[in-house]
Amino acid sequence: MYTRRLKALGYLSADKFKTNISQVQQLVIWLEDNKIRYLPIENRESLKATEFKDFKRALNSYLSGLGCPFEMKDIDSVMTWLLGRAIRSEYTEVLQEYPELNTAEFKGARAKRRAEAVPADDYRLPLPSVDHPEFKQMVNQLCNSLMIPAHDDLILRLQAAAHLIGERDKLENSKIDKSRKSIGLTPQDLGFDFGDAALDQAAMGLRLLHQSELRNLQTRINEIIVKVQSVTADPRTDERLGRVGK
For the chain, domain boundaries: 3-116, 133-177+184-220
Residue 125's pLDDT is 43
Give residue 6's identity as a one-letter amino acid code: L
b/e per residue, 171-181, with b = 16+ CB within 10 A? eeeeeeeeeee
At residue 94 the predicted structure's pLDDT band, cuts being 50, 70 and 90, is confident
CA dihedral 29, 30, 32, 33 (to 10 degrees): 110
Beta bridge partners, 238, equal 243
Q: Regarding predicted confidence, which is higher, 67 or 215?
A: 67
* Whole-angstrom distance, CA of residue 27 vs CA of residue 90: 16
Mean predicted confidence (pLDDT) in 151-168: 82
Residue 242's pLDDT is 55
- Residue 166 CA, chain-centre distance (Å), reads 27
* Whole-angstrom distance, CA of residue 115 vs CA of residue 126: 23
Give residue 47's identity as a one-letter amino acid code: L
Percent of the chain scoring above 70 in pLDDT: 70
> Do 187 and 201 touch, CB atoms closer than 8 A?
yes
> Do 12 and 19 touch, CB atoms closer than 8 A?
no
Q: Regarding predicted confidence, which is higher, 134 or 234?
A: 134
At residue 19 the predicted structure's pLDDT band, cuts being 50, 70 and 90, is confident
Helix (H, G, I), strand (E, B) or coil at 130: coil
